[in-house]
Amino acid sequence: MPPASGIYVDGEWVESSTGETTGVEDPATGETVGEIHVASASDAERAIEAAVGAQAEWAATPGPERGAILRRTGELLAERKDGVAETLTREEGKTLAEASGEVQRAVDIFHYYGEKAREIGGTVKAASSSEKRLRTEKEPLGTVSLITPWNYPIAIPAWKLAPALATGNTAVLKPATVAPGPSRAIVECLAEAGLPAGVANYVTGSGSELGPVLTEHEDVDGVSFTGSTVVGTGVYQSAAADMKRVQCEMGGKNPTVVAPSADFEAAVEAVGAGAFGVTGQACTACSRAVVHEDVYDEFVSAVADYAESLTVGSGLDDVDMGPHVTADELESTLEYVDIARDEGATLVTGGGRPSDDDAAAGHFVEPTVFADVESDMRIAREEVFGPVLAVIEVSDLDEAIAVANDVEFGLSASIFTQDLSETHAFTDRVEAGVAKVNEKTTGLELHVPFGGYKGSSTNTYREQGDAAIDFFTSTKTVYLNY
């Protein structure tokens, strides 16, 4: 096992002040694959102080120079892609193919914002006088706290860190403790690329210990969080108490509507991939298939066949689906299976742990499909965060959209149809921040805004693309008379 990973403060890897470490477990085997230092509140304060101290010089660094460091970071990350992907699989559990794709996503994000740093500026507007010039400028917020989850342990840190640094902010990143290795690789690459000391800092440890400092500290100017709705709501309320800028992306209960005119095989493939890809541990995972009665029975049979065709095992092997990240996540999914049965839903396939001996040590669960689900059942309303699909029968598009909207979340939603009128009705009326047509609910383009409605987001600022630039900057209007 490698030595314990320290925290990164003011350009140095150091031990935490507590001297405590905690293990990182491979969810497929139960083996301890690493250790991290458990930072204290005082460590988080030191990291913020370092970021504040570095902020003025970093903000004054020309955008192209900042961008060059980000591009070099992407290049270094690409060189380490295979090793980082393996670390991601060993810590988080997703398949090696999924992990490799996620690392590539992080590479692409750093390349994208490396180029965006060249064009961060403002606008020129017509003034009311011939001897006046009127323009806007974008300025960095200052120092920002970035709190990221375990389910995309390199992509999400990348899409927060890269725009924050591109716009001249300094940052303190706190990743989830169960899968910290991939985000550590980002920080290592940033340092090797020439990022000045203090600009990016990295602390690992308990959210209950570090969270209040990162969200409430008077020198923190902005907070970006991704995680559960319960925790995100607390983060928002805590950070907004002194008028900090806050952005929280949270849970989902994402539907795919299947109309009678749909390309049936494509719909089955997309729902299956959206429900069971990354073990269903994605905020955009498809957890509800809302299917027209004309194709309902056929769809239930086909998507169950899809689920049964998937191989489950260690992500390092040639499998289709890896384990849950922790025993608690596995137990939560199994509890929802019991809840669905008790409520009267029909278990079509899955619902338990794989029976083979190789799976005994890991947090494995079978891809699961429930039919005869009513929209008021908990299995249709609450975020399971596992490979469990609820199939709901509807009689027309109006009912399908009503069912799709009848939850507290509104992150991603899709429809499969060949009817243009249905396409427009769905995208106009569905209550989701991401609306897709003939495409799975998961998967995002990195240059367009991402975020949700209702309980899926604080509905303040979006992430990714130009929206991230907007979040991490303040606008100054300049009146120049001469």
Active-site residues, by number, are: 283
Give residue 108's identity as a one-letter amino acid code: D
Contacts of 149 (CB under 8 A, 6+ apart): 156, 176, 226, 227
Give the CA angle between residues 461, 464, 468 to the nearest 5°: 50
The C-alpha atoms of residue 150 and residue 231 are separated, in whole angstroms, by 14
Residue of 310, 324, 318 whose CA lies nearest to 367: 310
Burial class (CB in 10 A: 0-12, 13-18, 19+), 74: buried
| Cα dihedral across residues 23, 24, 27, 32: positive or negative | negative
- Segments in 244-316 forming alpha helices (H): 264-276, 296-309
Extract the runs of DSSP E, i.e. beta strands, from 298-426: 346-349, 368-371, 388-394, 409-410, 412-416
Q: What number of other Cβ atoms are within 10 A of residue 141's Cβ?
A: 21
Angle at 39 between CA 36 and CA 44, to 5 degrees: 135
Q: Smallest Cα–Cα separation from 374: which of 343, 398, 416?
A: 343
Name residue, tokens 């799709």. Answer: 404
In DSSP terms, which residues pair with 19 in a beta bridge? Answer: none
Cβ burial, residue 119 (10 Å; 0-12/13-18/19+): exposed
Q: Report which secondary-structure segment, H or E, holds 59.
A: helix 41-60
Rg for the chain, CA atoms, rounded: 23
193 Cβ contact partners less than 8 Å away, ≥ 6 residues apart: 69, 70, 72, 73, 76
H-helix or E-strand spanning residue 139? strand 132-140
Q: Give the Cα separation of 407 and 402 in Å (integer).
A: 10
Integer Cα distance of 412 and 342 in angstroms = 28
Report d(CA 334, CA 345) in Å as an integer.
14
Place of tokens 């955008």: 63
DSSP assignment of 203-218, as one string? Answer: --S-HHHHHHHHHH-T
Asked whether 149 and 177 are in contact (CB, 8 A), the reply is no
Q: Exposed/middle/buried for 459, CB within 10 Å: 0-12, 13-18, 19+?
A: middle
